Structure formats: structure tokens, C-alpha cells
Amino acid sequence: MIPMNHSFQTMLRYVPLCALCLLMLSCVEADERVTLPNEDDFELISRGLDGLKVNELKLVGDKLYALTNDGIYHGNVEGGNLQLLGLKGKNLTSAVVFSSTEILASLWDLDGTWDQVAELYYTSDGGDTWTTLDHNFGGEIQEPVFHFAWNPEQPDKMYATGYQVVAESTDKGVTWTPVWGDFDMFANRMRVFINPQLPNELWAGGQGAIENGYLVHLKNGQEEGFWNTLVPNPTTVKKVAFDKQTPQSIYVGWEGELSRSQNNGQSWQKLIDRHEESHFFFGIGVSTQNPEVVVAGKWAKTDEPQPLELMYSTNKGQSWTEVAFSSVQFGGILDLVLVSRPAGERIFVGLDKGGVYEIKWNR
């Protein structure tokens, strides 16, 4: 059961490819600056794990990691199928890859009686052995870690989210202190992201008890901004991405919408509206070679097959072009990692029951 220990006042605050794989090329709010891609611009490559739900992708050095509903997998970013690293049979929501040998992963499962099973698993030998970590996340009540955030430039600090809490650890996940919200809240989970160019600034968000979405901006552990009417409900925050060349430029993926601020949250612009379709924007990437280039991926809440569709913009989201890949049956995107190269973009997507694919975009 979801815990319900919080004050009424607090609750009220949160209420208010190949060419054969291309199915279609369609413009979304296109203008004269958009150039339709040629057939050879995109190449779709399977990286394995077909049938698995990929909850999160991590790119660390030359390694790509996938947190799935059947363990953690990894492989060389340059090619080849991802291979099992450990924890097979376990639903892993997030991880911190401190190094190729040291990893902390979070498990969240239901045991069939609707009692939650939440654990943190740790390895210091590259996945040869895993141990459960003795920790105090959640306080006296067992609470899952839904999402981790860690910046290697500040290796002694890491962050994690629960139902409605952002907590900090300075000992690699053993002890946790809430910096926003609290443990044991009646809500529907959060995610947290560190601005890589402004590492003292966190962006986090989630959904309250009645499907009310919210976004919070923290600076040096203090709340700088809070939005709970920015996007129509029901909604929730699924991804925050940053323009590394202009760190005040923030992209937020919601249920139903992708929005952007160019001034660190002082004002916002809606870039994509999918409220009618209830599309969740788990995937956002900003090119480090050309920040005009932004890619996005969506997921629909269904157990049925759904198309793999990539949206991209060449003008910072003012207009979008959509590419669909018909060869992928389960194409709902649950995470996206963008690797920029001078010749183009390498886009890795983790899919709901579809495994991991790489989309090479030769611009």
C-alpha cells in the first residue's frame, strides 16, 4: 500500500535504419526552417534485450547500461548487443554507475500481495557479486528509490527520489537526508535531475495524490521555484534535459507535453502538445555539437504494441519533424540518451518491452 503519513496542509500544496524501417515522415508544426530527412539520414540498429522493459539507460565512458525489469545489462557503446551484468529477474528502476566496477542499483517490485519490495543493491567488483545495502532511505518505512541523480564532478553527493521526496546522501547511499519533501508521503513518485553545468541546481518533479503534476527547482538545497499549474492535469514530470552550452535553457518532459524555459524557469513555452493522446515524454536529448538540434521520444500508457517514433527539431523546438520505424513492434520510449558527433547524432532508446535500439542520424 502507498504510505499516508503527512499533514493536510502539505497535501493541499501539491494538489492544486535503414530505409526499410521508415514508415512515415511527417511534420509537426513545421515551418520553413525544417528540412525533411532523406531516406539515408537514419539507421536503426538493435542493441538487444527484445521483450524487456528498459526503465533507464546510462552512458558512462564507452559503456552503455540498461536497467530493466530483468536485471542490469551493459555493453560497448560502439556496437554489439548488451549483455547481462547481474540481478537477473529483478525489476531495477535506476542506478548510479560510479565506475566500471562500482554500481548502486534500486529495485522495486510487487510480491503479489501489494506489499512493496524495495532494495538497494551494490557491487564493487563490476557485477561479479551483488549485496543488499543497509540504508535508511524511507526512514522507518520501506520506500522505493525511483530515481537517482549523481554528478561525477561532485562525487561525494548523490540524490534519490521516493514518492514525494528528494533526499541527499554523502556516503554512497547508506544514509539519506531529505532536502525537499519528506519520506512516507501520499503521492505517486518523483524524478530528479542535476544541471551538469550548474551542479548545485536540481530539477525534480512528479505527481501528487490526485494525479496533479508539479515541478520544483532547488539551488544549494533551497527551493528556488515551484510549479503545480504549469501544465494541465493529469500530468507528471518524466524527464528534464539541459542545453550544456546555455545552462539556463531547460527542457521538461511531462505527461501530455514537452516544455522549455530559456531563463532558468522565469518563463515557459509549450513546444509539443500531446494531452489528447496522453503521451508521456520520457525521452529528451539536446545535441552538444549543435544545441539547435533537439530530439524527443514518447510513450503511451498501454500494454498493446505501439510505434517507435522519434521527434526532432533543428531550431530548439520551435518546429518538429517526426520519423516512425515500422519494424519495431513495441516502440514506447522510456528513456533516451543522445551522443553527439560532428557527423551527426547517435540516439539510444530504451523501450517498453522492446529492448534497446540505436538510431544513427547522419545530419
Non-local CB neighbours of 76 within 8 Å, separated by 6+ positions: 62, 63, 64
Is residue 118 in some structural domain?
yes
Model confidence pLDDT, tens digit, residues 25-36: 333 343 333 344
Residues 284, 87: Cα–Cα separation, whole Å = 28
Is residue 352 in some structural domain?
yes
Confidence (pLDDT) at 114: 56
Is residue 3 in some structural domain?
no
Domain that holds residue 166: 8-362
Residues 69, 287: Cα–Cα separation, whole Å = 29
Is residue 277 in some structural domain?
yes
Whether residue 116 is predicted with pLDDT greater than 90 in this model: the reply is no
Q: Which of 236, 241, 316 is nearest to 278 (CA)?
A: 236
Q: What is the CATH number of the domain that holds 236?
A: 2.130.10.10
Is residue 27 in some structural domain?
yes
Model confidence pLDDT, tens digit, residues 264-313: 999 999 999 999 999 999 999 999 999 999 999 999 999 999 999 999 99
Report phi then psi at 40, rounded to 5: -85, 5
Is residue 226 in some structural domain?
yes
Number of domain units in the chain: 1
Report phi then psi at 290, rounded to 5: -145, 100
Average of per-residue pLDDT values in the chain: 90
Which value, in Å, is the radius of gyration of the alpha carbons in the chain?
19
Is residue 42 in some structural domain?
yes
Report phi then psi at 19, rounded to 5: -65, -25
Model confidence pLDDT, tens digit, residues 154-194: 999 999 999 999 999 999 999 999 999 999 999 999 999 99
- Mean pLDDT value of segment 309-333: 97
- The pLDDT > 90 percentage for the chain reads 84
Q: Which of 154, 74, 80, 87 is nearest to 119 (CA)?
A: 87
Task: Give the pLDDT band (50/70/90) at residue 111.
Answer: low
Is residue 142 in some structural domain?
yes
